[in-house]
Chain A
Amino acid sequence: MARPVVVEAQGLVRRFGTATVLAGVDLRVGPGTIVAIFGPNGAGKTTLLRILATLLAPSAGAVSLFGNDAFGSHAGVLRRRIGLVAHETFLYPDLTATENLLYYARLYRIDDGSERAAELLAWAGLDAHRTRPVRSFSRGMAQRLALARALLHRPELLLLDEPFSGLDAAGAEAVETTLARMREAGGTVVLTTHDVARGLALSDRACILNRGRLAWESLGRAPADAFAAAYRRVVGDG
């Protein structure tokens, strides 16, 4: 039996007051796929991810996740299958790295919470800093912990808003490896990034969001020159 489409957005519109941030976005993402969404600042990338994470309801249009209405009665169950890394880390500054992960492990009712937290702290290279409050972390360390938090409950759909922001080369490489492994295991990733080279290398499909619309979408892996030409055509040189 065919596995259901993981993400299906139809005619997504989101308005904030009089400003229309998303103006009718259609997006379909299957299992085992990494989709990279590019676009200039203010294109609506973050808003799109927040809607897919069920954090924000669309003003119009529909979102289905794993074949279920994202804002219906199954929303709680769906959230268990989603991981989100946003611009902000969702981490409590006065808790230590371990305490933050254990707290989220309890929210997600993870049975092996302590082991999983220790495993992800090691993955994030934060083992030596596990008892330090997050307030004392650098931007890159906090970003690595935020990624660990999002991976804690082994999500099937990972939504990443600028995941490489603040990461050093080793950190970015660890993230790339993890995402590639997740894809091999049938997981789905939707990410936004301004790091074109990394985003194109990692993704199976690339999209350009501009002024609230999906203005361009590649059929498969996007070659850098074709993407650059499309970006110039759709967005302009800026």
Chain B
Amino acid sequence: MLAILWKDLRIEWRTKEMLSSLAVLAVLLVLTLTFAGQAGTVGASAGRLAGALWVAFLFAGLLGIQRSFLLERENQCLAGLLVSPVDATSLFLAKLVGNVIVLGLMQALIVPLGALFMGSGMAANLPALAVVLALGNIGFAAVATVFAAAAVRTRAREVMLPLLVLPLLLPLVILVVKATGAVLGGTSLGEVGPSLTYLLAFDAIYCTAGWMLFEFVVRE
């Protein structure tokens, strides 16, 4: 698993293709959505910022996760992996961890920018925000990793991936947007406890399903 993760991160470090395209798309989305939502009206800004941020994370994130498999498509490197003794579970875990890291890096760039434009003070609640985002990222990446592995072999993959992933993510998105809005608005981690429990449950379900399905998805 570590070999695959090392390779993915090394290629990304060298090319910076995924992170740069993700960041640009996410910045554009956050700016568009925050200005469309009349930035500066402080009372409702935390909830609106959370919505704007997650729209950006989802669309930019899908692009990035798809890219992590396009990497394997060139020269049929995925076949090289599949003829090696590495089991599909390790491949799933490596891609999942790599995608969560890239999503986290993208968020580290985008969240402060969004907060700046929306006038939301988030410094005090940064650890809580990090926990919520991390839980959201794990569930999102688990579902998207499985479907990206399937979609990468289809011709209409750019259309297929959001169509397959977004409906499945709806419960997680509702939860994570609400939790993100709450912590951005100053609510403590303890107060959003129930949402975090549900997020954890979704993460567990998505990761387990991904773990079990990945072998079938990647080999068939």
Instruction: Say whether A91 contacts B77, CB under 8 Å.
Output: yes
- Contact partner, B76, options A77, A86, A108, Cβ 8 Å: A86
Given A77-B85, A95-B7, A107-B85: A88 touches B14 (CB 8 Å cut-off): no
| B15 contacts A by Cβ under 8 Å | yes
Interface size on A, residues (CB 8 A): 27
Instruction: Say whether A79 contacts B85, CB under 8 Å.
Output: yes
Shortest CB-to-CB span from A62 to chain B, Å, is 18
Given A92-B71, A103-B3: A76 touches B85 (CB 8 Å cut-off): yes
Q: In the complex the two chains form, what is the Cα distance from A89 to B74 in whole Å? A: 9
| B116 contacts A by Cβ under 8 Å | no
Closest chain A residue to B17 by CB distance? A94
Determine chain B's interface SS by DSSP, over half rule.
helix
| A90 contacts B by Cβ under 8 Å | yes
Interface centre among B6, B79, B82, B83 (most CB of A within 10 A): B83
- A 85-110 to B, binary, CB cutoff 8 A, 1 in contact else 0: 01011111111000100011011110
Chain B interface residue number, banded: 20 to 34
| A80 contacts B by Cβ under 8 Å | yes
Chain B residues numbered 78-117 whose CB sits less than 8 Å from any CB in chain A: 79-87
Given A89-B75, A91-B75: A107 touches B15 (CB 8 Å cut-off): no
Residues in B with CB closer than 8 Å to A88 are 75-76, 79
Instruction: Say whether B7 contacts A76, CB under 8 Å.
Output: no
Residues in A with CB closer than 8 Å to B153 are none
Binding site for B on A (CB under 8 A): 53-55, 57, 76-77, 79-80, 82, 84, 86, 88-95, 99, 103-104, 106-109, 149
- A-B complex: 9 closest residue pairs judged by Cβ atoms: A90-B80, A106-B3, A88-B76, A107-B84, A80-B85, A79-B85, A94-B11, A88-B75, A76-B85
- The 25 sampled A-B contact pairs (Cβ below 8 Å) are A55-B83, A79-B83, A79-B84, A79-B85, A82-B83, A84-B83, A86-B76, A86-B79, A88-B75, A88-B79, A90-B79, A90-B80, A91-B77, A91-B80, A92-B74, A92-B77, A94-B11, A95-B7, A99-B7, A99-B10, A104-B80, A106-B3, A106-B6, A107-B84, A109-B85
